[in-house]
Every structure is written in structure tokens, then in C-alpha cells.
Structure 1
Amino acid sequence: MSSYQFHGQHLCPTSMRAIRARYDPYLQTRHRVEQLKQLGHSVDKVEFIVMGGTFMALPEDYRDSFIRNLHDALSGHTSNNVAEAVRYSEHSNTKCVGITIETRPDYCLKRHLSDMLSYGCTRLEIGVQSVYEDVARDTNRGHTVRAVCESFHLAKDAGFKVVAHMMPDLPNVGMERDIEQFIEFFENPAFRPDGLKLYPTLVIRGTGLYELWKTGRYKSYTPSALVDLVARILALVPPWTRVYRVQRDIPMPLVSSGVEHGNLRELALARMKDMGTECRDVRTREVGIQEIHHKVRPYQVELVRRDYVANGGWETFLSYEDPEQDILIGLLRLRCCSPQSFRPELKGGVSIVRELHVYGSVVPVSSRDPSKFQHQGFGMMLMEEAERIARDEHGSSKLAVISGVGTRNYYRKMGYELAGPYMVKDLYGPGMD
């Protein structure tokens, strides 16, 4: 998985690679794939993250050119438009299994979502920062918290996975109010994201916050207090949510005040042990992480189902797990779309699979490795159960999947056909009960 940037980003490692390639998306992709190949990694599956700004605020022709070049860099074809690039990318030896785009609630409207679907985008990272209207106003977010809720609803009804960026330690919030906002974030059905990136506030020279800090009107949490806060937040995360990051990848010399440790997640998890709490997010429980850090493998694997309401729809989180050891092997996110779903392909009794993922070491496409969990049938079994729930419980006549461009053939083997940007199956077709 690699990140791809456009002009104007801070100097993290991704930015440095982008600068070396002069921000050319084609060169960024080719260079990174070659680099990973030389390091001995399998590169037949690639996930793009278009990060570091509001990509959807850029001119349409630039966006189209950028996405076209990402796909063309994998296929080797020179395309005239995005649709052509996606068609060739679908059959590339190096498969694009997903594209993530960072955006804002005000650039996550219907037209933006439809554009992103045409790109092959499957996951959105939405800048939220705070659930408090006064904080959004005082930090000049330029949008309301209500807009956040509306963007989550629209995005999930279009099938996207939603990852939220949240920023504790903003001015005039305080520790207890920070904790309260995360309780609200995970328990209020208007929020409930699929994933979280936790970015504690950093004071960087040249910003308005720097001036507040310099004059003593803003003070960051102490390092110990911040570890405590992150530990308390991680204890709140539900088992269907993945915590992708707990701090920004910004060189410390650029930071005047804020996070002082480069291993904040590790420190928070250690603090949780002292507090007698645990983190049960997707990342902590996934089989690959458990094997690496705890040298444990699943023994008794079973299908686990968790249902919840979020953003106007009925969500079902299906997973294969070892409940005794709390190890996660694979997951599926199924949604019974709300009547407000705006995509024509999802109207009239359609459920949608928003994510299917089997964890563990990467196994090349069309290969099997008995010691690994990918390509052992867990994905197909999760899809079969999703089809049953959609048909028998949702009363849906069709099941759609938001699929990475390079994984469409996987769904074709299960009877799905391309309809717009989705793979769709008639649940009452020939051979169905």
C-alpha cells in the first residue's frame, strides 16, 4: 500500500518521494512499485491513498489526469480518459485493490462521491477533527458538524468505507470534553465511522495556533496526559472500527509543541495494561498483528455477527474470529441502504457490501499458501452469508459490492456483474432458492 501526493504537502516520507518524482503520479507509482519489488515484496496488489489535502477541491481535469496516470502506471497503457484507464487497470498484472481519497465534508457531496466512484475509489478519509460546533467554528473548519453527519450518510449509502480524522487537544476543549466527544463519536448513530485516524494537535510555526501558543493562550497536554487520553480513547473503540493511526508522520523539528513521542500508540497500549483496559479495534485483533507481536495463531475459528445502526442504515459486521483468543481473520461490512441512497444502481431493494477483507500475510493473486489465511475460502463464505442476510432479512433483490478495480474478477466468479461502478448480483436469479 502506498500514498500519493499532489503539490503543497508537508515533508513526511511520502512527500519526499513525491518531490523526487516532481509530483508526477505516474512516476510516483512506478518508482514505488519498483522499490517495493526490489525489497522483496509481492507487488501484484496495490492500494493507493491520495493524501495530504482536499483532492476533490482541485480542478476536474487535473483530478482526472492524476487518477488516469495512477491506473496507467499499473497497466502500462496510455489512456485518453479515466474510464479507459480503469478498464485497462482491471486486467493489469499489478492489481489496484482500492483507492482511498482524503476529503472534507463539504467536498463529499453527491457529485464528488460519483466522481470518486468513477475513479475506482473505495474508501474515504474525511477530516472531522471535532464533534463540537463551537470548536469547528473557532478553528475555522469552514463547515458544520451537521455537514459531517450528512457526508457520512451519503458516503455509506454509496458504499464507501468511512475513515474519520479526529484531533484531540484543540484549543478550549480540555481532557474531559475530549473524552466525551469520543464517546459521542462511537455511540451516536449519526457518526460511527468504520475507521479512525487520531491526530493530536501539533503546534507548527506559521500557523494561528503557533501565535496562541507563543503568547501563552494555548498549552498542549503534557506527554503523560496525552498518553492517558489516547489510552482512554482506544478503550472506547468498538470492535468493528479500525484505528489506522494515532499521530501524524511529521518530522519533529517542525513541531514546536504537541506530541513528543514517536511511539504514541505503543505507549498508550502499555498504559491500558496498567489501567486494566484493552483495545479491541480491528487492527489490534487482526491475525497478522497477533502473529507478529504475540506469536499466537487462531485455533477455533467461527463466524461472528454484530449488528448496529449508523448513518440512517442497518449495518452488519460479519467476521471470522477465534473468540477465545480474540483474533480476527476476515471481515465483511454489509449495509441495508437507506431510502435516501442517491445512486441509481442502489435503489429499489439493494443491499451493499462496503468492505470484504481477509487478513494475514499477502498471498499473490491466484495462489494458495496453507500456512496463510488469504485465499482459503473465508472471503467466499463471508459473501455467502451476506447474500443470505440481504435476501432473507433485508428483503433485498440484489446485492452490490463496492469493489477495487483489480478485484472485480473475484466477484465475477461468484456471479456478480458490473453495473456502473459496482459489482451486482441478482439474489433471485437462476439457481437461487
Structure 2
Amino acid sequence: MEEALLEIIAALREGAVGGRNADAAADAVWLDKLVRRHNRAAHDGTRRVAKRRLLPFYLHVRSTEPERWAAWDVSDEVDAALVRLLQAKPRRTASGVATITVLTKPWPCSGDCVFCPSDIRMPKSYLADEPACQRAERCWFDPYLQVAARLAALTDMGHVTDKVELIVLGGTWSDYPASYQRWFIGELFCALNASDEERTRKAATRRARYETAGLPRERNEVPRAAADVQQRINSGELGYNEAWKLVYGTAPAPLEPLDPGWSGIAALHRANETAAKRVVGLVVETRPDLITPESCRDLRALGCTKVQIGIQSLRDDLLAVNGRAITGARIAQAMALLRLFGFKSHVHFMVNLLGADPAADIADYRRLVTDPAFLPDEVKLYPCCLVESARLTECFEGGQWRPYSEEELVDVLAADVLATPPWTRISRMIRDISATDILVGNKKTNLRQIVEAAVEVSGAVVAEIRSREISIAGAEVSDLVLETIPYHTANTEERFLQWVTPEGKIAGFCRLSLPEQPPHATPNERAANATPNEHATRVILSERSESEDLPAAGTPEKPEAMIREVHVYGKVAALHRTGEGTQHLGLGRKLVEEACRQAAEAGYHAANVISAVGTRVYYRNLGFQDNGLYQRRPLP
């Protein structure tokens, strides 16, 4: 292994491969030939050298054997080129942050959607074969272990993990007890606040406790009782919640979750502000009907910056027939509340639901991205598919539902892509459901590429964010132009500020929200008939009666602007270092300054920012002061 690595270092030192502007495909071919040559030289048929092991070996020597590493005489430039050459899956951090997805434990769900999978090994709506679910199950759904495992994997692949976005999945976050929510989030921060050595040691101790308790964690170790219960779910004999009681209702907990309380959460947040691995985004998912001013306040107290909500459709008739106990009006209210609290909205939208047709699906999505009552920031655009544990099976067998043909599906999704405005990002078009779990429906993992090819053939211009991201390519800062795209929602004026290249690629953006109704409401005003704006304002500004240590946000006498997101693309740059892409070059600062200038020009006397815990120091350096659940900067 070392011999091959030294040959790579020598080639990089001579500039023969892996330069900053080198062609990635050519580098990969060169590396593959080198690996095969060294394995052939062993003459024993073994693969002593493997691409996936080269970088972990190098990083291990660099961090634990300083004398050996010094003997290799690796300059900073060669070190960066080596990591770049050996890095696996570079798009993992192409959005500018290292994303870590974790799952909560299986738990009863207050919903009963027709299309939703019911895998008793997982939280409602998730399947055990999905990659994130496999990782969670191997970690017994322990949040600390999930973070530790993912950090180790990303580091071994050569990714910088100084800035982390945490995505908490598990069906409906708001269904879990408040004490579990605080424990789960607290453990995520504990794992990120720890040193690498401390994290490794604590993770080993936890694993030992689970193993001593005899809890299964591998799919072939799942108790037969759970498999029997799953069969009863699939046959329609049991619902998910009934099955949950049988499998988990009386099971003892090997690791009792200890509620840190709001004061404990605040302490963990303060530690993360200067930690080596800082949380620059925290995402949870829930349902629109559970979005209230009170739940929004609690999400902010946990450090949440983005909320995923399962909308699926805006049509009341379609929602009803699919078992969604929600209406379009309630969805609109949820969207308005998320904006007022500064959250980024990430909605789940499905085509081919029970009772849908292609033309109606296209019209429904167009309403989502054009009606001021909605206008999400991000969308997961899924085609409905049939899995064995979903109640949709009966509808398929009875002839009430059929999957769209591939041509119909691509036509619908292509129309949706073209309807998406430049301030909205379509993050996904499929779920990571294994083809073996899908009985009927799309099984192609490259569906998005098929849709994009259809759009390209049409010659139409795509405006949505993901198709315009500079990704790992980077951009010349001198070529970037700052543009502002204004649009109106039901309760705010939004301004989407974006850095774009001459080709229209996006290098960074800022979401500025200007509330159209001044937050003057007091706790006693119009209590029975308060609008979402007024109700939300009272909650934002109020003390928590059940927890005195949660700070209030102050009482502004005039409307205040809200910066809901600042994001700069390019490869992740380590904290306080300039990387290869566009990060740490002042683009984010200029976005914030321009947003504040526009807010002041529009008559707002202060700007708030829904900062993530790990970005508080950054915003303090830009003149923002801590102000309850947000950070605030007076405007001239």
C-alpha cells in the first residue's frame, strides 16, 4: 500500500497527474492503471492495493504517525492534490457542506396514508433497504453512533467535515415525545462537539452496551417475531401502530434517553459554536397539520433551520382519498408560519397518487410553485410507487390505481421541472427504495437523468436551482454578478439574491424575507381570531411558561426583515481556510450586506437571521447580536 502511495505522491509532486485543473476522468484512469499494476506485481492474486483503502491509509499515517508522514515529504499543495485524486464520491460535499442523515427510532404515526410503507423495523414511511435506514439500524437508531459512523465514513472518503448539515428523518418528528426530541438532538451535538478520539471511544462503549443487551442490529439478526408481525402488516391484518405495540411496546431500553432539558440543549449549542465540527444546518421532517407557532418555536430552540413537510398534493379531494387528514388551506397556513419563523421550507410532492392523472398532476404542481400561498424553497418530487406493506396494494389489485407509463411519468416530471422558478430547488426525483421492494412503479434509479434528457431535447431553459449549481467545478469570482429576483408570497415579499456566472450558473444565494404585516400583536389582541402572522408573533416574542431558561426574542415595535438562508456553493472549504471553490472568498458576506441594504431601503429598521448554531460566530462578525432564538442587526 505504501509503495503505491509513494508513487502517487511522486507523480503529484512532478505535476504528472492530479493538478487543480486536471481532467477528473483522466486522473481516474491513471489511478486505476497504477492500482492494477501494483496488484499484478504481487503475483499471488490478491488485491493488496485498493483505491478505497489508499486515502484512509494516507489519512491515518498523516494523523497518527508524524515521523513516517514527514519522511514522505508531502507539501501542502501535494497533500491537497492527493486528497482530491483519491476522494470518493466528490458530490457528497459539492453543495458546500458535509451532509449527515440520521433516523429516529420506530414510533407510532398519527397519520395513515394509503401509499405509505409500513416496515416495522423502521419509522413509518421508511424501508429497511434504504441506505440511511441500513446505517441507522446498524447503529440501533442511536443518534450519537449514527453521527460517529457517518463522520468516519466521510473522512475516509476524503471529505472535509468541518461544516455539517444534519438531516433528521423518521416520518413525523412532531409525533415523538418532547423529551426524546431533546435527547436525540442533544446527542447529535454531543457527537459533533467531541474530539475524534473521544467520539471513537464513546461510540465503542455504546456499541458494547447494545451488544451486551443482546439487541439485534443486522438484518439477518432481526427476531422472527418481527418478521411474523411484518407479514401480518402486509396481509392487512395489522396496522403499523398495532404492530408497533406488539414489537416495541414492552421492550426494555438498553440506553435510557436522558432529557437534557432546554438549558442542556443551550449549553450544547454554545459548545458547538466553536467546535471543530459545526452544525451549519439542522433539518427535521413533519406534517403540515403539526406546524403551529408553538412547534415552530420549539424547533428553533432545538437549532432547526429547515423543515421538511409532506404535502404530496394541494387538491383536497386527492388528499382525502389518499388518507391525508389535511387540506390545501392548512398547508398554506403551515407555509406562512414557516416563512414567518424564518425556516427554509422543503416540501415533499408526489405524482401518480391514487385518483390522480397526468394533466391534473401538472396543474397541481404548477399551483405549488406559482400560487403565493405556497412557493416552497425546495421540493422532493416523487413518483408514487407500490410497496407490499402499503394499503395502496388493495387499490392496485382492485383496479383503482395504476402506475403511469414511463412516457407519462417523464412528461409530467419534465413539465414540473420547467415550471419550477429560479428560487426553488428540486432536490430529488426518487426515493432510495430498493427495486426489490417496489412491486409496481418506477424502478429506474436514473429517473432524473431521463427527465433532464427529455427537457434538453425540448430546448427549453431550466431555471430551478439544482440544475444551475456550479457544484464541484467552481467559478471565477471576477466573473460573478449579483442579481436580485423579487417575488410575493401570501404574507411576505421575498427577495432571492444570487451570484451567477455569465452562463447562468449559480455560485451562491441569499433568501431575504420582508414580512408584509408589522408584528404589533400583543398576547391579548384578537386571541380568538388571530391571523397566522399575529399568532406567530405572540409566540416568537413570548416566554415559555414551562421552561424559563428559553430566551425570548424581544419585542420589536416595527416590522423586521428576516434572512432565511445564505448558501455558497463549491467544494467544502475547511473553517478559516480558502478552498478550491467559491467558499471563504467573501461571497456570503456580500450577500448579507446587500440583503441588509435592501431591507433598510424598503423601510425595515432591523434584520434578523435564522442562523444555525455553528454559524452564530460568523454572523456576530457581520454585526449581528444574539437576540433570543435569532440573531439581529439594527439597520440605519
- After TM superposition, is the score higher than 0.5? yes
> Are 1:195 and 2:339 counterparts?
no
Task: Give the distance between the partners of 1:299 and 1:200, measured in 2 at CA.
Answer: 41
Partner deviation per Cα, 1:42-91 (whole Å, 9 max, x = no partner):
11111111113001111111111001101111112996622222121222
Partner deviation per Cα, 1:386-416 (whole Å, 9 max, x = no partner):
11111111x1111111111001111111111
Task: Write out aligned runs for 1:269-280 (5 A).
Answer: 269-280=452-463
Shift of 1:379: 0.7
> Are 1:320 and 2:437 counterparts?
no
Number of the residue aligned with 2:600? 391
Number of the residue aligned with 2:563? 353
Match of 1:336 among 503, 507, 514: 514
Task: Write out aligned runs for 1:3-402 (5 A).
Answer: 3-7=101-105, 8=123, 9-11=126-128, 12-76=130-194, 81-288=264-471, 291=473, 300-322=479-501, 324-339=502-517, 340=533, 341-342=536-537, 343-344=540-541, 345=553, 347=556, 348-369=558-579, 371-393=580-602, 395-402=603-610
Q: State the 4+ residue runs in structure 1 displaced beyond 4 angstroms.
A: 77-80, 296-299
Task: Give the distance between the partners of 1:106 and 1:28, measured in 2 at CA.
Answer: 29
Task: Give the distance between the partners of 1:54 and 1:362, measured in 2 at CA.
Answer: 30
Partner deviation per Cα, 1:243-274 (whole Å, 9 max, x = no partner):
11011111111111111211111000001112
- Indicate conservation of the 8 Å contact 1:44/1:365, yes or no: yes
Task: Give the distance between the partners of 1:171 and 1:76, measured in 2 at CA.
Answer: 47
Match of 2:619 among 404, 411, 430: 411
Number of the residue aligned with 1:427? 635
Residue type at the aligned position of 2:450:
L
Task: Give the distance between the partners of 2:183 and 2:464, measured in 1 at CA.
Answer: 36
- Indicate conservation of the 8 Å contact 2:422/2:465, yes or no: yes
Residue type at the aligned position of 1:3:
T
Residue type at the aligned position of 2:485:
R
Question: Residues 383 and 36 (structure 1 numbering): CA distance in 2 closer, same or farther, change over 3 Å?
Answer: same
Number of the residue aligned with 2:113? none
- Indicate conservation of the 8 Å contact 2:514/2:560, yes or no: yes
More strand as a share of residues: 1
Partner deviation per Cα, 1:269-318 (whole Å, 9 max, x = no partner):
001112222322111111116x39xxx86773211010000131000000
Partner deviation per Cα, 1:213-256 (whole Å, 9 max, x = no partner):
12222110012221121111101110010111011111111111
Task: Give the distance between the partners of 1:24 and 1:47, measured in 2 at CA.
Answer: 18
SS at match of 2:497: strand
Task: Give the distance between the partners of 1:242 and 1:231, measured in 2 at CA.
Answer: 14
- Indicate conservation of the 8 Å contact 1:213/1:219, yes or no: yes
Shift of 1:382: 0.8
Task: Give the distance between the partners of 2:175 and 2:628, measured in 1 at CA.
Answer: 24
How many residues are paired up? Answer: 421
- Indicate conservation of the 8 Å contact 1:223/1:260, yes or no: no
Number of the residue aligned with 1:431? none
- Indicate conservation of the 8 Å contact 1:157/1:338, yes or no: no
SS at match of 1:307: strand
Shift of 1:111: 1.1
Residue type at the aligned position of 2:488:
V
Residue type at the aligned position of 1:101:
V
Partner deviation per Cα, 1:84-130 (whole Å, 9 max, x = no partner):
22121222110000101111111111111111101111001111000
Residue type at the aligned position of 2:615:
T
Residue type at the aligned position of 2:577:
S
> Are 1:2 and 2:100 counterparts?
yes
More helix as a share of residues: 2
SS at match of 1:409: helix
Query: Which has the larger displacement, 5-14 or 151-160?
Result: 5-14
SS at match of 1:221: coil
Task: Give the distance between the partners of 1:367 and 1:113, measured in 2 at CA.
Answer: 34
Residue type at the aligned position of 2:148:
R
Shift of 1:28: 0.6
Shift of 1:35: 1.5
**RMSD value, Cα:** 1.7
- Report % sequence identity: 32
Shift of 1:40: 1.1
Structure 2 unaligned spans of 5+ = 1-98, 106-122, 196-257, 518-532, 542-552
Larger radius of gyration: 2
- Indicate conservation of the 8 Å contact 1:197/1:245, yes or no: yes
Task: Give the distance between the partners of 1:271 and 1:389, measured in 2 at CA.
Answer: 39
- Indicate conservation of the 8 Å contact 1:352/1:399, yes or no: yes
SS at match of 2:457: helix
Task: Give the distance between the partners of 1:328 and 1:160, measured in 2 at CA.
Answer: 21
Task: Give the distance between the partners of 2:490 and 2:268, measured in 1 at CA.
Answer: 33
Residue type at the aligned position of 2:506:
L
Task: Give the distance between the partners of 2:559 and 2:294, measured in 1 at CA.
Answer: 23
- Indicate conservation of the 8 Å contact 1:155/1:162, yes or no: yes
Task: Give the distance between the partners of 1:364 and 1:300, measured in 2 at CA.
Answer: 24
- Indicate conservation of the 8 Å contact 1:156/1:311, yes or no: no
- Indicate conservation of the 8 Å contact 1:298/1:325, yes or no: no
- Indicate conservation of the 8 Å contact 1:298/1:327, yes or no: no
Shift of 1:174: 0.4
SS at match of 1:167: strand
Query: Which has the larger displacement, 205-214 or 234-243?
Result: 205-214
- Indicate conservation of the 8 Å contact 1:82/1:119, yes or no: yes
SS at match of 1:325: coil
- Indicate conservation of the 8 Å contact 1:335/1:354, yes or no: yes
- Indicate conservation of the 8 Å contact 1:10/1:250, yes or no: yes
Task: Give the distance between the partners of 2:616 and 2:194, measured in 1 at CA.
Answer: 19
Partner deviation per Cα, 1:355-412 (whole Å, 9 max, x = no partner):
000111111110013x42101111111111111111111x111111111100111111
Residue type at the aligned position of 1:179:
I
TM-score by length of 1: 0.94
Residue type at the aligned position of 1:377:
G
- Indicate conservation of the 8 Å contact 1:123/1:161, yes or no: yes
